[in-house]
């Protein structure tokens, strides 16, 4: 990951998001300056299959916990939290600098 204008960012996200959209698993729309990512019915079905699969149980539980804590927060609020909690590791880095 690298220090970016809006928080930590991994350039691989672009490829992953394009892949998911190309497979018709997510849709991307724009609302003002924000990009909104939504599961398609096909994506929701696949997510449901993962949710039910035993090997993914721990991951599903962790993602539910993350959503419970951060789900209603804006991107700016999450960025501020990351910068507060990880000041040395993220906030003090120069833009474009690798986060180790």
Buried b (16+ CB within 10 A) or exposed e, 27-36: eeeeeeeeee
The pLDDT of residue 8 is 64
CA distance 50 to 54: 8
- Domains with residue ranges and CATH for the chain: 2-91 (1.10.10)
Stretch 80-94: mean pLDDT, rounded? 86
**CA 13 to centroid of chain Cα atoms:** 9
Q: Specify the pLDDT at position 91.
A: 80
Per-residue pLDDT at 83: 85
Mean pLDDT score of the chain: 86
Regarding pTM above 0.75, the answer is no
Over the stretch 1-41, which tens digit does the pLDDT of each residue have? Answer: 566 655 666 777 788 889 999 999 999 898 888 788 899 99
């Amino acid at each position: 990951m690298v220090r970016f204008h809006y928080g930590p960012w991994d350039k691989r996200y672009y490829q992953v998001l394009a892949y998911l959209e190309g497979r018709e698993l997510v849709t991307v729309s724009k609302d003002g300056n924000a990009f909104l990512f939504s599961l398609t019915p096909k994506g929701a079905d696949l997510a449901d299959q993962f949710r039910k699969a035993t090997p993914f149980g721990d991951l599903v539980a962790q993602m539910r916990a993350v959503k419970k804590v951060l789900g209603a927060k804006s991107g700016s609020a999450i960025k501020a939290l990351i910068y507060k909690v990880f000041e040395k590791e993220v906030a003090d880095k120069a833009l474009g600098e690798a986060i180790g």
